[in-house]
Structures are given as C-alpha cells and as structure tokens.
Amino acid sequence: MPSDSGRSTSVWMAAQTPEFSALARDAVADACVVGAGISGLTTAYLLAAAGRKVIVIDDGEVGSGETGRTTAHLTAALDDRYFVLERLHGSQGARLAAESHTTAIGQVESIVWGEKIACDFERVDGYLFVPPGESADLPDRELAAIHRAGLSDVEKVDRAPLASFDTGPALRFPRQAQFHPLKYLTGLATAITKRGGVIHTHTHADRIEGGATARVTTGSGHRITAGSVVVATNTPVNDVVTIHTRQAPYRTYVIGLRAPPGLIHKALYWDTADPYHYVRLCNDGDTDLLVVGGEDHKTGQGGFAGNYFARLHQWTRERFPEAREIAYQWSGQVMEPVDGLAFIGRNPGDAENVYIATGDSGNGMTHGTIAGMLITDLISGHENRWAELYNPSRKTPAKDYVLENLNVAAQYADWLTGSDVESEDRIAPGNGAVIRRGLEKLAVYRDEQGGIHRYSAVCTHLGCIVSWNATEKTWDCPCHGSRYDPSGKVVNGPAIRPLIPAKDAGDGQPDGDRLNRRSAPA
C-alpha cells in the first residue's frame, strides 16, 4: 500500500486496504469526517452504527497517513507518567485518563470480534522499566500514582521477562493489547460502508466551515454539506494558530528486525529513557519480527535521520544481539501536547459543530479510539465523563506553553541563514536542499533523472523555513510540523496548501494570513 507520509515502508504496508473513488459531485450527510486514519474511521464507524449518515474523505488512501506508521501498541501505560498526569490534571483527571485508555482497548476488542476483523488482535502484558542511570525510585513512585488512578492490577516485578538482558524492577500492566493497524482499518472501512457510510479517497479538504450548516469544500470544488464536521487529520488543518501553540510535532523512528523463534516473551515493552524506546513482536509472513521504536526529536530540527536509525539499531543490538537483519525501517509523526493528553472535542473559537482530534502523545491507537467514542457522544448529545479532560479549550500549563512557543519563535531565524549547499550542482539525484536566492529561500529538489524542481521554502502555514528530510524525501517545517512531498504537496498539516512554485514565490501568503480557512456562519 502506498504511503502519503513519506518514502519509507512500515511492516504494515504490505496489507491491501480497500480502494475508494474520489468525490465527484456535491453531497449531503449528517457528519463529514476528514481523515481516514484510526481517529476518523473509528468516529465514522460509531456514528454509522448509531444510525447517522456519514461521509469520510481523505486526500490519500485509507490508513496512508500516520496510522500506517504506528507500532500499534494498545495500552493504558501512557507516554507521560501517571504522577505527572496527576500533577497536571488532578487525581480525578488521572483516573479518567486511565479509565478512557483502558476502555478504548476494550472498544477495539469489541469491534474486532463483533465485525470479525482479522487483524492479529491479542491481549498481552506490558512492561515499563527504568534504564541504568535513571531514578531508581521511579517505579515505586509511578506505581503508587497508577494505583491511585484505579489501575489496581498493575504490579511491580523483579524484571521484565527478557532473557537477553536484565531490565531490573519493572511495572507489569496486564491485559494490554496489540494488533495490525491497517488490517483493522480495512475492517472498519468495510463495516462503515455496510452501514451506509460513504468513503472517498484522493479527496482534499480545501475549506472547512462550521455554522448552522457545516460545509467542506474539496480541492476539485465539490461541496459536502453536513450537520457536523470532524477534522481527524493527525493535526488540525482547519485551525491556524490555537491548537498548534499547545502541541509540538516529533519524528519517531522504528526498525523491524528478523528474530529467531522464542527470542522474547510476547509482550509490550517500554523504557523511561529520554527519548524513550518501545518494543513488541509481530509476525511477518513465516517469521517473527522484533519491532523497536524511539529516538524521537522535534520535526524539522533533528538533522540527518540516518543517525537516529543507527542509534536505534545500536540500542537494539546491545539488548537483543540475536536479532540482526533489519527488514524494515520507517519513521512517523507524533503530536505531543504540552500537558500529555489529546485534544478531542469542539474546535476552540469555531462553530459548535466543528470537532477535532489531535495530540496523540505516543498513544495514537487508544487516543484515536477515545476520539471516536467521545466525538460520537458529543454529536449525539450524550453526556461523556471524559469530555472536560480532553476538551481542546482546556487550560494548559503556562511554563510548558511558553517554552514550546519560544522554541517555535527561534525557528524563524532560519530566514537569516545561508544555503544548505554551495550550489544546486551539489544536490544529488533524489535529494533536496534549501538554497538562498537574494532575499528568498528556495526548496530545491533534484529528481532521479537529474531534473531540478524549485519551490518557495516558506511553509504555507505560518511562514517558517522548511528543511529537507532525506529519509522520507519530504520538506519538513520545524515550527508546527507541516510536511510536503518533493513536489511541494502537503502530506502533513497544519498546512493545507502546497509549497509555492519558485516563479510564483513572491505572490503567496502563508495560511495564517488567509481568512478563508476559518469557520464562518452559514
């Protein structure tokens, strides 16, 4: 299956996902869902199951964005420690976080069995351990917070069940889960269409408006009129500033290595390093594959991605020396909210019938499932006890908010720097570089045949200078994580418009200067 988020290939992408046609005419629905990843399809499935007429659109294919790049851990062991969540959200907030993620695992399991989806779903234990040099009292501190959050069956054990190295004391989370994410999305898509839902791929949402009647206008000029719009695009493409000042985009790296049978006990494993590492097994045809991820860094700010794969391989080789052959390596994008939990609900400052789901914080499979459950309740007028916890309008920590936005502000200094290379002649085929031309900065790509393609290097979201990602062959924005393919097409929001061809570069404005993306009354 082709990916719309980069050139690398995950282990999941061999799965065939269903094909759908582009929207070819105006349409009407109770709800229009923008995005066919786990958040969008879960929302569409639950709305369709509740009797709503649903249309899903995606500018790629089903699962061709970030869901196809996950490692598909389904867990209530969250990316941020529970004692941190307790400090940020209070004891009740930590309890609701534990409850919602645990319920999300059960929701996935219920859908899998109810819809008979063959997606390799299975319950497994999870183990959180502290690497050498980290705080030895962390497991006890975290366990106390976990128990206060209601996860009473989590226990401390002497070590994780890994024969190749001793993790030291670990926390065991029973009955977590894993699955094949694209096979699961295939099952969701099939179930949606059986319930009367409609899915259109290769359909770009160019304009999203709320109001008495919501509208989504596509790149081809067709209009979907709906009672509600759900923007489930990893990061919102209908919001210029608000949410993007409260979360940060990170690249995360994954390798899949051929593993001899019985190499590790089948479970989920995470350490508490910074950046942390995460491990699981999956089956790749007739062999086991050890899937190891980590080495996260802010999008567009990390330098050469090959270094991160090398570090990941070194970390793995030291702990699992029998797993040698790298069969896959890929990267993905994670949105880190400043307070550790996703933003799910009504879009701040927007009409009441425009909803967003973003801020996966390394737990995209459960956060995406929570989004489907919560947004379905909000649209249906049902009370949901998680609504305030995930409310996109909630207050976030002032210190973390300021630090994140100081980092963003610092990226605008790239306007003053020189070229990445001395001249275009130094750009190898299949690669790109940012070149200064007078007062302009150009994103220059040399294709495999040697042809040169020039675009403005100014991100069309809020005007930062993009950088070249040699692993994924994308132009990445270091401010809010917008990403573009070599030809300037958007592959990750929040940008909604492509990079401007160089000859037109002086004519364009970033989306922050455009008003036609904001919701307007009908």
How do strand 354-358 and strand 223-231 relate by DSSP bridges? Answer: parallel
Q: What is the tens place of the pLDDT at every residue in 274-284?
A: 889 999 999 88
What is the chain's mean pLDDT, rounded?
A: 90
Domains of the chain with CATH codes: 20-70+182-245+340-403 (3.50.50.60), 412-511 (2.102.10.10)
Helices (H), 195-348: 305-319
Percent pLDDT > 70 in the chain is 91
Q: What's the pLDDT score for residue 409?
A: 62
Q: What's the pLDDT score for residue 513?
A: 36
pLDDT at residue 506 is higher than 70:
no
Q: What's the pLDDT score for residue 400?
A: 56
CA distance 210 to 518: 9
Tell me which DSSP letter residue 211 carries: S
Tell me which DSSP letter residue 409 carries: H
**Selection from 55, 7, 59 nearest residue 33 by Cα:** 55
Compare 236 and 241 and report the one with higher pLDDT: 236
pLDDT at residue 301 is higher than 80:
yes
pLDDT at residue 390 is higher than 90:
yes
Question: What is the value of pTM for the model shown?
Answer: 0.92
Contacts of 148 (CB under 8 A, 6+ apart): 82, 86, 91, 94, 95
Percent pLDDT > 90 in the chain is 72
pLDDT interval class at 260 (50, 70, 90): confident
